[in-house]
């Protein structure tokens, strides 16, 4: 890994991975390509370590000529593909952009990699790598007693978002088996941590609670998710890049299965401890049950035995301490939060998705 292209590197997980790689690998140079849509921000990249090895370019992964030019100019040997539309609620209301970015964008990136690596430079799996970031949502929903998602679990996506990611996964797999493109793929569980855009559950609940706003819980709040601290995810991705078998897929999770209600109650308890004199304490009184979203998957769980047995990885961050670290990050970065809240598109989305939900 000398010259790495990171797509979506101004977003939540992507920006954390940029920071992780620059901090932990003194040899890698990063070309960061991001379209800077609503969830990507250059503020996520302020004060990155090793900034002299980080080159940001604003651009669209669907722009094939731009990709070809960048890969040749920077002699890219590694692609880590984060760029995606990723919010289920948004995919329900407007699936078209998910098809364009997640499917067409991944196809365009695969074509560019195939052309440059396999046709122009004749590189093999020891010299180049295309790593695709995906989600556990491609597997569908689990019943209470069903075994956790393994790499061999059949795909059964239930939302436009999950379907678009499943499609991109299949393309990556096909480009490896058909053309010999050196790929790896990881399916991760719900990430949380610094720089997460506050449309997602954990930052939304933290920021709403601080302002005394309602904490909306879909349905009965007993949907179960596995929660992965973002820095643990970054570590796992780097390990797969270094030691993972070309053509293989690895599931990455946090090794927990709380309900959404338990997550919110834990966040409320943390804020109660931080602000015992707040007029909103106990913050759990702000919880408000609202109409569930269509097709809401009931339970996700990750079987991580493959990545643990093959590569020795397991998450470092326990959920309780990870949530505390996340709350403290948002408390310490109020300027970042204020800038997000100034975005007209963000405020329009919050109004559209939550204000009229009974």
d(CA 260, CA 8): 27
d(CA 45, CA 48): 6
The catalytically annotated residue of 60, 77, 85, 137 is 137
The string of DSSP letters for 33-63 reads EE---TT--GGGGTT-TTGGGEEEEE--TT-
d(CA 227, CA 202): 10
**Which one, of 306, 297, 320, lies nearest residue 92 by Cα?**
297
The catalytically annotated residue of 116, 139, 161, 250 is 161
Instruction: Tell me, yes or no, if 137 is annotated catalytic.
Output: yes
3-state secondary structure of 240: helix
The catalytically annotated residue of 89, 136, 235, 249 is 136
**Which one, of 352, 354, 328, 350, lies nearest residue 341 by Cα?**
350
Residues paired with residue 289 on neighbouring β-strands, in sequence order: 217
Q: List Cα–Cα distances, 257 to 188, 263, 303, 318, 329, in angstroms.
A: 14, 10, 12, 12, 23
d(CA 80, CA 183): 10
d(CA 206, CA 223): 19
303: left (phi over 0), alpha (psi -120 to 50) or beta: beta
192's CB contacts (< 8 A; 6+ apart) are 200, 202, 203, 227, 228, 229, 230, 322, 323, 326
Encoding tokens for residue 139? 């597997």
Instruction: Tell me, yes or no, if 354 is annotated catalytic.
Output: no
CB 149 within 8 A of CB 301: yes
CB 200 within 8 A of CB 206: no
d(CA 289, CA 219): 6
Instruction: Tell me which residue has tokens 């809401």.
Output: 296
Active site members: 136-137, 161
């Amino acid at each position: 890994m000398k010259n790495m292209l990171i797509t979506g590197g101004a977003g939540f997980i992507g920006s954390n991975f940029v920071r992780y790689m620059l901090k932990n690998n003194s040899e890698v140079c990063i070309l960061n390509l991001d379209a800077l849509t609503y969830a990507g921000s250059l503020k996520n990249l302020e004060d990155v370590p090793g900034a002299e090895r980080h080159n940001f370019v604003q651009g669209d992964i669907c722009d094939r000529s731009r990709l070809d030019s960048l890969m040749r100019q920077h002699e890219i040997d590694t692609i880590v593909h984060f760029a995606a539309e990723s919010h289920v609620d948004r995919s329900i209301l407007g699936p078209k952009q998910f098809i364009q970015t997640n499917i067409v964008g991944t196809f365009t990136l695969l074509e560019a990699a195939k052309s440059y690596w396999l046709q122009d430079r004749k590189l093999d799996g020891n010299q180049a790598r295309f790593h695709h970031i995906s989600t556990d949502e491609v597997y569908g929903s689990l019943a209470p007693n069903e075994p956790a998602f393994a790499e061999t679990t059949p795909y059964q996506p239930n939302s436009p978002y999950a379907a678009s990611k499943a499609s991109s996964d299949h393309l990556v797999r096909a480009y490896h088996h058909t053309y010999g493109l050196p790929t790896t793929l990881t399916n991760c569980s719900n990430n949380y941590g610094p720089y997460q855009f506050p449309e997602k559950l954990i930052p939304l609940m933290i920021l709403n609670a601080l302002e005394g706003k309602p904490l909306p819980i879909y349905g009965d709040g007993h949907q179960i998710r596995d929660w992965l601290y973002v820095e643990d995810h970054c570590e796992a991705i780097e390990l797969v890049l270094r030691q993972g078998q070309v053509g293989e897929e690895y599931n990455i999770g946090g090794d927990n299965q709380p309900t959404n209600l338990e997550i919110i109650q834990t966040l409320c308890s943390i804020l109660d401890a931080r602000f015992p004199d707040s007029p909103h304490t106990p913050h759990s009184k702000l919880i408000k049950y609202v109409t569930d979203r269509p097709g809401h998957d009931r339970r996700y769980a990750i079987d991580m035995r493959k990545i643990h047995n093959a590569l020795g990885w397991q998450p470092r961050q326990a959920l309780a301490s990870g949530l505390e670290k996340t709350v403290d990050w948002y408390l310490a970065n109020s300027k970042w939060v204020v800038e997000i809240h100034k975005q007209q598109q963000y405020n329009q989305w919050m109004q559209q998705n939550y204000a009229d939900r009974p």
